[in-house]
Amino acid sequence: MRMVDIIHKKRLGEELNTEEIQFFIQGYTTETIPDYQASALLMAIYFKGMTENETATLTQAMVDSGETIDLSAIDGPKVDKHSTGGVGDKTTLITGPLVASVGVPVAKMSGRGLGHTGGTLDKLESIAGLTVELTKEMFVENVNTHKLAVAGQTGNLAPADKKLYALRDVTATVESIPLIASSIMSKKLASGAESIVLDVKTGSGAFMKTVEDATSLANAMVKIGNNLERNTVAVISDMNQPLGFEVGNANEVKEAIEVLQGKPVADLRRLALELASHMTVLAGVFDSYELAYHALEKNLDNGKAFEAFKAFVAAQGGDVAMIEDVTKLPSAKHHLEVTAETEGYISEIDAEAIGIAAMFLGAGRAAKDDQINYGVGITLHKKIGDNVKAGEALATLHYDQKNSLDDSHNKVKGAFNISTTPVDTKHLIYKVIK
Ligand code: URA
At 121, is the pLDDT very low, low, confident or very high (cuts 50, 70, 90)? very high
- Residue 419: pLDDT band with limits 50, 70, 90: very high
Q: For all residues of the chain together, what is the average pLDDT? A: 95
For 367, the domain range is 331-419
Q: How remote is the C-alpha of 254 from its chain's centroid?
A: 18
Site to probe by mutation for ligand 1, drawn from 62, 165, 196, 239 as the one with most ligand atoms within 8 Å of Cβ, is 165
**Residue 74: its pLDDT value, please?**
92
Query: Do both 111 and 198 map to the same domain?
Result: yes
Q: Which pLDDT band holds residue 136 (cuts at 50, 70, 90)?
A: confident
Quote the pLDDT of residue 44. 98
Beta-bridged to residue 56, according to DSSP, are none
- Give the distance (Å) from ligand 1 centre to CA of residue 183: 6
Domain count for the chain, please give it.
3
Question: Are residue 215 and residue 246 in the same domain, yes or no?
Answer: yes
Asked if residue 290 is part of any domain, the answer here is yes
Instruction: Note whether 312 and 350 are same-domain residues.
Output: no
Q: Cβ-count burial of 25 within 10 angstroms (0-12 exposed, 13-18 middle, 19+ buried)?
A: buried
Indicate the helix (H) or strand (E) that contains 391: none
Same domain, 246 and 290: yes
How far is C-alpha 162 from the chain's CA centre?
18
Residues 374 and 245 in one domain: no
347 & 318 share domain? no
Nearest protein Cα to ligand 1, atom 7: 180
| Residue 404 backbone zone (phi > 0: left; psi -120 to 50: alpha; other: beta) | left
Confirm or reject: Cβ of 280 under 6 Å from ligand 1. Answer: no
pLDDT at 85: 86
For residue 162, is it within any domain?
yes
Per-residue pLDDT of 40-77, as tens digits, reads 999 999 999 999 999 999 999 999 999 998 899 998 99
Q: Which of 302-316, 356-370, 388-402 has the lowest mean pLDDT?
A: 356-370
Residues 242 and 377 in one domain: no
Quick one: residue 405, left, alpha or beta (phi over 0 = left, psi -120 to 50 = alpha)? Answer: alpha
User: How far apart are the C-alpha atoms of 62 and 55, rounded to whole Å?
Assistant: 11
Element containing residue 323 per DSSP (H, E): helix 320-324
Residues 197 and 80 sit within 8 Å (Cβ to Cβ): yes
Residues 265, 175 share a domain: yes
Of 324, 353, 388, the residue at which a domain comes to its end is 324
Provide the CATH number for the domain around residue 348.
Answer: 3.90.1170.30
Q: Are residues 300 and 413 located together in one domain of the fold?
A: no
What atom of ligand 1 comes closest to residue 179's alpha carbon? 6
Tens of pLDDT along 314-373? Answer: 999 999 999 999 999 999 999 999 999 999 999 999 999 999 999 999 999 877 788 899
Question: Cβ distance 416 to 342 under 8 Å?
Answer: no
Whether residue 316 is contained in a domain is answered as: yes
Verify that 274 and 415 share a domain, yes or no.
Answer: no
What is residue 114's predicted lDDT score, i.e. its pLDDT?
60
Q: At what angle do helices 304-315 and 250-260 cross, to 10 degrees?
A: 140
Angle (nearest 5°) at CA 106 between 102 and 108: 155
- The active-site residue, picked from 89, 161, 199, 267, is 161
Spatial neighbors of 371 by CB under 8 A, at least 6 apart, are none
Nearest Cα residue to 310 out of 298, 325, 294, 296:
325
- Looking at the fold, whether 32 and 103 belong to one and the same domain comes out as no
- Residue 68 covered by a domain: no
Find the mean pLDDT for residues 155-161: 90
pTM, 2 dp: 0.94
Query: Does 191 reside within a domain?
Result: yes
In a domain, 133, yes or no: yes
Q: Above pLDDT 70, what percent of the chain?
A: 99
Q: Is residue 339 part of a domain?
A: yes
* Cβ proximity of 289 and 281 under 8 Å: yes
Which three-class secondary structure state does DSSP give residue 348?
strand
Rounded to the nearest angstrom, the distance between the alpha carbon of 63 and the centre of ligand 1 is 14
Ligand 1, atom 8, residue with closest C-alpha: 180
Residues 410 and 352 in one domain: yes
In a domain, 61, yes or no: no
